[in-house]
Amino acid sequence: MTRTARSSGTAVRTGRPGLRGSDVPLVEAYDLAVLDLDGVVYVGPDAVPGAAQALARARTVGMGVAFVTNNASRPPQTVVDHLLRLGVEAQPADVVTSAQVAARLLAARLPAGSAVLVVGGEGLRLALTEEGLAPVGSMEDGPVAVVQGFGPDVGWRLLAEGARAVRSGLPWVATNLDLTVPTAHGPAPGNGALVAAVATAAGRGPDEVAGKPAPGSFLEAARRHGSRRPLVVGDRLDTDLEGAVNASMDGLVVLTGVSTATDLMTCGPEVRPTYVGRDLGALHEPVPPATVEEVAGTTTAVCRAARVRVEPSGIVVAATGDDAVDLLRAGCAAAWTWAAGEVDAVGTHDGAQDRGGSLPGVAGVVAALHGLEPDAPWAR
């Protein structure tokens, strides 16, 4: 429910749904940061500037750190080795992979030692072995289930064996459905594309998906750390932030990865973050709130010096302020309020209206963001 306070005839509401501020740094408000990796801690082989330092400071003040990845091809130790090369402290227990979550799901349902057909790589086989299951590569080995996860060496023969197993009626778990994986040369087919190939041949989709945006990875990270106040930190709305919503956890979206300003302002409630930050440095700062005001029939969203208003043509910038992230927060608060049907076609409050997912015009906000930070990849 949106909270409303009235002062001098002005209704003031926090951005809806979910966008909030914090009077204290997030490292004080939460006991665990559950972090996505690519786009948050590193981009490809290289660290995001300042990420290692921000995480070291978080640990110093007592915040736990966990890493959650949908990449099923790399065992936790391989992920740790990568992080250590970048100056990020990590241990294998800090890393939760979609392969581990899938193996845990299967181990809870199958007798110990059961054979499982693996359509994937070493990370998935190791995860199954650690859960007391027997990874196999052929139907001739008598598998009782199928698990599929990304592996760079997965070829046609293994995909065909997976399709054969799925057609036979064996339960099928996919580690994740990410359609692409990042490479130095741009996006390449991910596990979701390979799962689609098996599904096309087998005539049905997976029975269950283990990784993000399912909540299992986030819940496992919180369980390992005994966390009572976890904060999910990610760059992708459709995996990281949707996963946070599904796990009933607060989420911080950082602008160092794939999500753009347009993505954020036009996204649906199922993927909306609780906070917006430039990078992992946002963990160490109070977060200014974005409030929505109705004054004299005009709906306005404000975040510190940034101010935008809702008009029939869309969201209009009244004042940019001097911080592009503040302007983005204000834009999100206004756009989400508009999309929720809380302002009618001429900008007045109408809480009973439902726009059914229609999107406000945000081009003016995007242009102002680009003017403030023309070199920022997310300002589009």
Is position 38 annotated as part of the catalytic site? yes
At residue 281, what are phi and psi to the nearest 5 degrees?
A: -60, -20
Ordered alpha helix ranges (H), the chain:
26-29, 51-60, 76-85, 98-107, 122-130, 156-167, 191-202, 216-225, 242-246, 261-265, 324-339, 363-372
| Distance of alpha carbon 92 from alpha carbon 80, whole angstroms | 6
Q: Is the dihedral of CA 242, 86, 183, 197 positive or negative?
A: negative
CA neighbours within 13 Å on the CB side: how many for 343?
A: 33
List for the chain the helix, strand, coil content (%; round to 5): 35, 25, 40
At residue 105, what are phi and psi to the nearest 5 degrees?
A: -60, -45
Task: State the burial class of residue 88 (Cβ atoms within 10 Å of its Cβ: 0-12, 13-18, 19+).
Answer: buried
Of 188, 190, 194, give the one whose Cα is nearest residue 156: 194
Is position 46 annotated as part of the catalytic site? no
Instruction: Please identify which of the residues 31, 36, 178, 326 carries the catalytic annotation.
Output: 36
Judge contact between 92 and 80, C-beta under 8 A.
yes
Beta-carbon contacts of 338 under 8 Å, excluding residues fewer than 6 positions away, are 299, 310, 315, 355, 360
Query: Can you read off the two tokens belonging to residue 78?
Result: 């391989």
Residue 141, strand partner residues: none
Judge contact between 325 and 285, C-beta under 8 A.
no
Instruction: Please identify which of the residues 38, 235, 326, 344 carries the catalytic annotation.
Output: 38
Of 336, 255, 269, give the one whose Cα is nearest residue 14: 336
Query: Can you read off the two tokens belonging to residue 277?
Result: 């930050």
Task: State the burial class of residue 246 (Cβ atoms within 10 Å of its Cβ: 0-12, 13-18, 19+).
Answer: middle
Query: Can you read off the two tokens belonging to residue 191?
Result: 């596990």
Positions annotated as catalytic residues are 36, 38
